[in-house]
Amino acid sequence: MMYSYEKVYDEINNARRFGNQPGVEVTAAMLDTLGHPERGIPFIHVAGTNGKGSTCAFLTDCLMALGEKVGTFTSPHLIDFEERIMVNRRMIGREDVTRIGSQLLETEFPIAPTMFDYCLAMALIYFREQQCSVMVIETGLGGRLDSTNAIGTPGAAVITKIGLDHTAILGETLEEIAEEKAGIMKRGCPVISQRQEAEALEILWSHYEKVNGNRQDFWVVTDEQIREIAGINLRLLGVHQWENAACALATVRRLYPNAGELLPVLAKTGWMGRMELIQEDPFFMVDGAHNAHGVAALARSLRQLYPGAKFHFFMAVMADKDYPDMIGELLPLALDFTTYTPESSRALQGEQLAAFIRTRGVEAKTCDNPRNFLGHLPRGERTVAFGSLYFVGEILEIFREEQDR
């Protein structure tokens, strides 16, 4: 049966977010039922707490420059569901979502898929149909038990910055979280890691040694590599993007020793919702920093890009985030805060967030409708919206609708 696009989207989007069994088991069963569309397509597997999406973007652009046809799978989407599945940076079409989604919804699987499992299966089928020569696959959550870990042994495993996030699921310490991320490492697979806290890096090294018996093909981004990236003007703003770009470049150079000059490619790479300057006057920037580690990177970058400046912050987060630490990072840079309750059952109420901020001695008010806030941005001052990616997506959609009018 062929469903409508709306029916496919609603059925998949409303599927369970978490299942009773690990995602790796669910997807393994799905791929077996589907005849393993993933087989024969090499892939790069990307795990980490922050920087995964940007690193995937850098990787994709470099691989395209080398002549590869690249299927890229990331999550979540900010505006359109189709953002999750791209081939050479072009989103999957709605007609393909409808066709493949209908196929998946009509298939009898031995295990009930979650929303993420459906998305991943759709991506792998589409990449097979499009005859992709390589895939860039971002984990959804963690690594060891993540649905993407059912795909097999990657050509390279990439570990971006590890921090404290999703602690209720992944563990309450850096060591526990690093152990989950390390689960994407496979025997004979090179690993490229960003610089990590010592306790996280030791876990990664230890796991790699258990799998491979040595540390011969485990690489950590160096200061020299970051200085090389810092010498060019990246389209993606933020000092943390230097390391994301350096990590992607190190991965490509490991896999393609004769890759040639790729710095100009990295300079042009963009990724929606990551320190994205929407407009200059009045100044408005959005950033998907949704945990303390990400917000610390945002604060460092704002200080570097706009020395001495103060900002109006527009903020919305999930209740399970470490919002006191997030706010603490930005207090020295804040003129004031405006808070909002995003549309999610997990959302932290905006008034609760504003009340906490006021206890820290900074003015904070709530906003019921982002359109009202965005319609009164102050000229001559700088406003930055950050937090939940759902919130960032809602803002970007408002701006897109305004531009389409």
CA distance 111 to 3: 22
CA distance 396 to 1: 34
Q: Are 132 and 37 in contact (CB under 8 A)?
A: no
The model's pLDDT over 258-272, given as tens digits with 9 standing for 90+, comes to 999 999 999 999 999
**Burial class of residue 321 in the structure, from the number of CB atoms within 10 Å of its CB (0-12 exposed, 13-18 middle, 19+ buried):** buried
In this structure, which amino acid lies at residue 33?
T
Q: Are 151 and 73 in contact (CB under 8 A)?
A: no
pLDDT, residue 141, reads: 85
pLDDT, residue 378, reads: 94
CA distances from residue 347 to 114, 125, 172, 362, 391 in whole angstroms, order as listed: 21, 33, 21, 22, 10
Provide CB contacts within 8 A for 403, sequence distance 6+. none
Strand partners, 285: 277, 384
pLDDT, residue 217, reads: 96
Asked if omega into 76 is within 30° of 0 (cis), the reply is: yes
The model's pLDDT over 68-100, given as tens digits with 9 standing for 90+, comes to 999 999 999 999 999 999 999 999 999 999 999
Q: Does the structure show a pLDDT above 80 at 256?
A: yes
Mean pLDDT, to the nearest integer, of 175-194?
95
CA distances from residue 37 to 94, 305, 359 in whole angstroms, order as listed: 20, 45, 54
End-to-end Cα, the chain, rounded Å = 36
What kind and span of H or E run contains 377? none
3-state secondary structure of 33: helix
Q: Does the structure show a pLDDT above 70 at 324?
A: yes
The model's pLDDT over 266-317, given as tens digits with 9 standing for 90+, comes to 999 999 988 999 999 999 999 998 888 889 999 999 999 999 999 999 999 9
* Sequence-ordered alpha helix ranges (H) in 233-277: 240-255, 263-268
CA distance 236 to 61: 13
Q: Does the structure show a pLDDT above 60 at 166?
A: no
CA distance 184 to 191: 9
**Residue percentage of the chain with pLDDT more than 90:** 84
The model's pLDDT over 339-368, given as tens digits with 9 standing for 90+, comes to 999 887 778 999 999 999 999 999 999 999
pLDDT, residue 170, reads: 65
